[in-house]
Amino acid sequence: MRPFRQLALVSVLFLLLAGCATTKNTFVLAPHPAGNVGTVSVTNSMGRGDVSGVGETLLVDNASAAPRLGGPMDQAKIDKLFAKALAAEPPQPKVFLLYFKTESADPDKNSMTLLDSVVQEVKNTNSLDIGITGHADRSGEDDYNMQLSLKRAQEVQRLLVDRGVPLERFNIEYSGEGDLLVPTADNVHEPRNRRVEVVVR
């Protein structure tokens, strides 16, 4: 009997260890902070799982097991698993668009007013990371527009620094006429493309 009991014990231990070793990966779909609900999928060599409803889950033991549907997860379980990570979730970056007259690096009147809202947002969120990207429309030469988009971005940075935002919080990029808000043919004046985008992160 003794060898059998040992074998039984070993078998039980093996099953327990195997149970522990089963890697459970859990993927839960939650609404986007803007309110919309999209899709989540997980793909590995054994298959693919797709979910598209709030709280729906995909479970995967490991990379050698096909993803499977886990059904909806209730809020209590979500809080239990993800409370710490959810508490560390940064707010969504806020985007401001400033507009310019043709060939000018000075923001138009409305955009000058909008600068105050940018400063307020920086204060409210204590943002340390503010992105400024300059753009131009397609009137004029490419290289001229590249410089103009940089000048616009630098001018917006200067105006925000004047209003008390520390210089080291900014990063400047510029795209010339390469990243249009409204696609146009070359040499077309388009006020909506003459812009600087400020992102408060």
Q: Say which amino acid occupies 81.
A: L
Q: What pairs with residue 195 in β-bridges?
A: 99
Nearest approach in angstroms of CB 161 to another protein is: 13
Cβ closest to another protein, residue 50 vs residue 108: 50
Interaction mask 151-180, another protein, x per CB under 8 A: ------------------xxxxx-xx-xx-
CA–centroid distance for 126 within its chain: 19
User: What's the DSSP call for residue 107?
Assistant: B
Cβ closest to another protein, residue 11 vs residue 129: 129
119 scored as a contact of another protein (CB under 8 A): no
Nearest approach in angstroms of CB 103 to another protein is: 17
CA–centroid distance for 183 within its chain: 24
Reduce the DSSP state of residue 142 to 3 states and report it. helix
Q: Which of 6, 41, 104, 117 binds another protein (CB under 8 A)?
A: 41
Q: Which of 3, 18, 36, 110 binds another protein (CB under 8 A)?
A: 36
Say how many residues make up the chain.
201
Measured distance CA(29)–CA(37) in Å, rounded: 8
Residues ≥6 apart with Cβ < 8 Å to 132: 153, 156, 157, 170, 171, 172, 173, 196, 197, 198, 199
181 scored as a contact of another protein (CB under 8 A): no
Reduce the DSSP state of residue 88 to 3 states and report it. coil
The residue ranges that bind another protein (CB under 8 A) are: 23-33, 36-45, 60-63, 67, 78, 81-90, 92-93, 95, 128-129, 131, 142-143, 146-147, 150, 169-173, 175-176, 178-179, 199, 201
